[in-house]
Structure 1
């Protein structure tokens, strides 16, 4: 409990909001690293995922490659790349981009695969080309799942960039690694709490974005499906009660 009070005192100390090690500076660095990771990973994963989902080709590789990438140990990959390319931003950036690709790739191709094939066939029957079907039908209807993949990658990037502070980099992980040798536990706990808070804010923003990009018709369709399932369940329950009543009467 004393450590918790000391942590809040550290967070509220005005001295920690000034200078190059200020809290807002470290938060800004963490956000900058995360956005850069998402941008580079999206440039690689989104076109590949959309191609797999649209054509249906390469799905086996699209499933196996993310599974392999997810199995890579984050810290080990960061250190290995640091030994190969040197200290600095490049090594952890490459490692974090590699680890951010699987959820974005999976969100893209699973989003397109979730689109009703009858809708796609109807679009083709209207004379739409493959590109028109992709951009006007499949992508708009799958934006919720695509955004979900970005959401997962963003949360992973926020958390794992903390580990990258083992190298001479900024970010919120700096508080944890700098405080560890001197056993400044309030500073370490404060850094951890700031990472958690940033992850929660990131998740909330992407959840809002996911809701905004979902077409109203899709939301209405899901609501109708839920109501239909509920009505069907109630009807079955009523029928069961009615059959039980008839058996009892006999």
Structure 2
């Protein structure tokens, strides 16, 4: 029974990347059968695709890392204050970025500041801040009060309770927020093309403007593949770090 369960888990674990590889292989095999014009040839080549994919991944990973560095400590501080007003203010500020349409955030920052990578990065952080902030607060609030009291009764300091008890128990909820932020980042990063920040959005927009369906399709499929693979990888990490018994 254990062997069969392990085989099923292994199959489930590798189904997603196998499916993504098959889809990408089918798309590129189809592109290989086309008679590409000069515009398509300049776009659908390995160097250009790798450059756009790298730019997209850098935007996604760096913005998500910044969100984690900023949102988790902010949520911890708001939780330790134990004030509903402070929590409401923090959630309200975090909600500003996501309440505004993603295009609006990017374009507004570009108008009042400048265009380029940094502006796109700030826009992504603002847009993806709320899921991590809210999930961290929710995870910390769900830790049983009796568990905290037992830890304090054992002589733990507040910081020890936070690092040894609260954060490990809240980690599944926090990681779910980070997972959501990562997937959000992949999608919103396509808009970075409007402010000259690169990424796979260049291919999607150019495919639409120039009416090149093959360029549009490849760009869209690559974005979808990155989102699916990042969600899959985040799910594996979430399962790995989940405390036993949860």
TM value normalised by structure 2:
0.79
Where does residue 194 of structure 2 map in the other structure? 166
Moved more, 61-70 or 197-206: 61-70
* Structure-2 change in CA distance of 1:39 and 1:90 (3 Å): same
Q: Distance in 2 between matches of 1:54 and 1:197?
A: 39
* Cα deviation code 1:89-128 (max 9, x no counterpart): 1221111111111011011111111111111110011111
Where does residue 179 of structure 1 map in the other structure? 207
Q: Distance in 2 between matches of 1:12 and 1:150?
A: 40
2:172 paired residue among 116, 141, 144: 144
Match runs of 1:92-131 below 5 Å: 92-131=120-159
- Note if contact 1:7-1:189 (Cα within 8 Å) is conserved in structure 2: no
**Unaligned stretches of 5+ in structure 2?**
1-25, 35-40
Structure 1 SS opposite 2:245: helix
Shift of 1:11: 7.1
1:27 paired residue among 53, 62, 68: 53
Poorly superposed stretches of 4+, deviation over 4 Å: 5-8
TM value normalised by structure 1:
0.78
Shift of 1:17: 4.1
Match runs of 1:11-90 below 5 Å: 16-19=44-47, 21=48, 23-57=49-83, 58-90=86-118
Q: Which structure has the greater CA radius of gyration? A: 1
Q: Distance in 1 between matches of 2:32 and 2:68?
A: 34
Structure 2 SS opposite 1:34: helix
State the structure with bigger RCO (CA 8 A, min sep 6), 1 or 2. 2
Moved more, 114-123 or 76-85: 76-85
* Alignment RMSD: 2.2
- Note if contact 2:190-2:199 (Cα within 8 Å) is conserved in structure 1: yes
Structure 2 SS opposite 1:106: helix
